[in-house]
Structure 1
Amino acid sequence: MKIGLDIMGGDFAPKATVLGAIAAQKALSADQKIVLFGDKDQILPILSDQQIDPDVFEYVHTTEVIGMGEHATKAVFQKPNSSISLGFQYLKEGQIDSFSSAGNTGAMLVGAMFSVKTVSGVIRPAIASNIPKSKSGFGILLDVGANADCKPDVLLQFGILGSLYAEHIYKMPNPKVALMNLGEEEEKGNMLTQATFPLMKECPIINFVGNIEGRDLFNDKADVIVCDGFTGNVTLKLAETFYVLTVEKGFKDQFFDRFNYEQYGGSPILGINAPVLIGHGISSPEAIKNMVLLSRTMIETNLVDKIKEAFK
């Protein structure tokens, strides 16, 4: 198993990413290797400072970096020697089994779409994220930013993708799938949610439990919550703020501690032909470590093959 990691992505790269890779490697077995994509001249001094044998990793030296504010499509094609571009080239060629980065989200989406491409039958891939539940555990929210505007059949597919992810990665049996709406009744909502409801209700391969409202986000009514990427991204950013505010105000609470993004590492792009994860731009070493370990789980569970089977 070879897990690709962009060392140059993120606000605190390359140090935070290298330290995260070191922590993750210690949790991997002998046949699981991390392949670092980035400037090797910047990587080796960090390993030396940590007294780490550089041979524990494999390297793909890169000479370019896609910045966080760059135009995604232009950057991917105009910087073929960037860590993100080369990472996707290796993923497409099967030289690595997964690829993750805390760098430019748009570039990661473009790279995934143009290299490994979407699974046959999937209209649009979705980015999924974890949302803590008030009692215990967490739910899956998607899409959280890949698709600001959606059609009903796309939201239906998000429900299928999220259900497979919850079942196989987090071992949730028969996960409950709900549609985020402004009311619980079937006829409530805008044109999109009204048209989506009957499609999800009639879908035999998901356990659809109906509409939920924003106040149900943190309870046990649903395991998988479906919405368009605009709604999902606003919701996710608001949820992340809860943790920041509690830290700033010195408020200690177990529930709000679970909003710390570091615990979940990265967010997968579901519906493409290989495991790809996007990390938070401010990812710490702990977040990078958990993103790598989630990559391993996605490879081990053959999630992509299970998605392909569902969309045949």
Structure 2
Amino acid sequence: MKIGLDIMGGDFAPKATVLGAIEAYKALSAGQKLVLIGDKEIAVTILQENNVSPDNFEFVHTTEVIGMGEHPTKAIVQKPNSSISVGFQLLKEGAIQAFSSAGNTGAMLVGAMFSVKTIPGVVRPAMTTIVPKLKGGLGILLDVGANADCKPEVLVQFGVLGSLFAQSVYDIDNPRVALMNIGEEEEKGNILCQATYPLMKETTLFNFVGNVEGRDLFSEGADVFVCDGFTGNVILKLAETFYVITRKKQFKDEFFDRFNYEQYGGSPILGVNAPVVVGHGISSPEAIKNMVLLSKNMVESKLVDKIKQAFQ
């Protein structure tokens, strides 16, 4: 197995990404290789400064970088030698089995859809995030930003994607899928939720348990929470703030510590033909390490094959 890592992506790259690669290498098994995509000379210097042999990694040298503020589609087209573009080319060719980056999120989405492409039958890929639960364990929230506007049938597909992800990668048996809404009653919500509910209620593709409200997100009522990307991104950013506020207030609590994005590494793009993970722009070495390990777990669980089978 070869896992591609964009070492030029992120606010603190390439130092944070290379240091994260070092930690990820320590957790990988024999036969699992990390391919560092970016400026090889800089990467080797950082490795040597930390007394790590460059021979532990493979390198694909690139010099172009897609900046955080660049237009995703234009950047992918105009910078074919950027670390993100090259990473997706390697993924498309099968030279690597997974690709992750803490760089431009839009470019990662566009790159995934242009290179390995969307799985046949999937209308729109989705991005996920982890939701910690009060009594331990975790839930999955999707979409968290890939699709600001959605149709009812797309939300149903998100339920399928989230359920397979929870089951395959996090070993959640028969995941309970809920629709994020402003009330538990079947008739509640905006036009989108009202149209989606009966479709989810009728499906046999996942274990639908009804509507949930925002206050239910950290409870035991469901394992997968489905919403449009606009709503999901607002929830995600608010949840990230919980951790920041508790740190600023010097409030130590195990539950709020689990809001630390570093533990989860990144957000998978579900619904494309290969494992792709997008990291937070401010990713630390710890976050980079966990992003790589999440990529590994997605490969080992054969998640993409299971999604393909579900959408045949």
TM-score of Structure 1 vs Structure 2, range by shorter chain: over 0.9
2:128 partner SS: strand
Q: What does residue 27 of structure 1 align with?
A: 27
Distance of 1:222 and 1:45 partners within structure 2: 47
Which stretches in structure 2 are left out of the alignment for 5+ residues? Answer: none
Which stretches in structure 1 are left out of the alignment for 5+ residues? Answer: none
| 1:253 matches 2:256 | no
Amino acid at match of 1:227: C
1:9 partner SS: coil
Q: What does residue 226 of structure 1 align with?
A: 226
Distance of 2:311 and 2:250 partners within structure 1: 47
Q: What does residue 37 of structure 1 align with?
A: 37
Distance of 1:187 and 1:16 partners within structure 2: 48
Structure 1 residues 132-182: Cα deviation after superposition (integer angstroms, max 9, x where no partner) = 111101100000000000000000000000000000100000000000000
Distance of 1:256 and 1:28 partners within structure 2: 28
Distance of 2:76 and 2:303 partners within structure 1: 26
| 1:211 matches 2:211 | yes
1:297 partner SS: helix
1:29, distance to aligned residue in structure 2 (A)? 1.2
1:205, distance to aligned residue in structure 2 (A)? 1.7
TM-score normalised by L of structure 2: 1.00
Q: What does residue 67 of structure 2 align with?
A: 67
Structure 1 residues 98-117: Cα deviation after superposition (integer angstroms, max 9, x where no partner) = 00000000000000000000
1:299, distance to aligned residue in structure 2 (A)? 0.4
Superposition pairs for residues 265-280 of structure 1, below 5 Å?
Answer: 265-280=265-280
Q: What does residue 112 of structure 2 align with?
A: 112
Q: What does residue 189 of structure 1 align with?
A: 189
Structure 1 residues 59-111: Cα deviation after superposition (integer angstroms, max 9, x where no partner) = 00001000000000000110000000000000000000000000000000000
TM-score normalised by L of structure 1: 1.00
Distance of 2:221 and 2:297 partners within structure 1: 26
1:26 partner SS: helix
Superposition pairs for residues 57-96 of structure 1, below 5 Å?
Answer: 57-96=57-96
Q: What does residue 201 of structure 2 align with?
A: 201
Amino acid at match of 2:225: I
Distance of 1:176 and 1:190 partners within structure 2: 22
1:128, distance to aligned residue in structure 2 (A)? 0.6
Q: What does residue 17 of structure 2 align with?
A: 17
Amino acid at match of 2:274: A
Q: What does residue 297 of structure 1 align with?
A: 297
Post-superposition, which runs of at least 4 consecutive aligned residues in structure 1 deviate over 6 A? Answer: none
Amino acid at match of 2:232: G
Count of matched residue pairs: 312
1:304 partner SS: helix
Amino acid at match of 1:308: K
Distance of 2:63 and 2:6 partners within structure 1: 13
Distance of 1:73 and 1:94 partners within structure 2: 23
Structure 1 residues 217-247: Cα deviation after superposition (integer angstroms, max 9, x where no partner) = 1101110000000000000000000000000
Amino acid at match of 1:38: G
Q: What does residue 169 of structure 1 align with?
A: 169
Distance of 2:38 and 2:198 partners within structure 1: 47
Distance of 2:28 and 2:160 partners within structure 1: 30
Amino acid at match of 2:107: A
Distance of 1:242 and 1:262 partners within structure 2: 14
Percent identity over the alignment?
75
1:297, distance to aligned residue in structure 2 (A)? 0.5
Structure 1 residues 25-82: Cα deviation after superposition (integer angstroms, max 9, x where no partner) = 0111120000000011110110010111101000000010000000000001100000
RMSD (Å), alpha carbons: 0.4
Distance of 1:95 and 1:310 partners within structure 2: 26
Distance of 1:48 and 1:196 partners within structure 2: 54
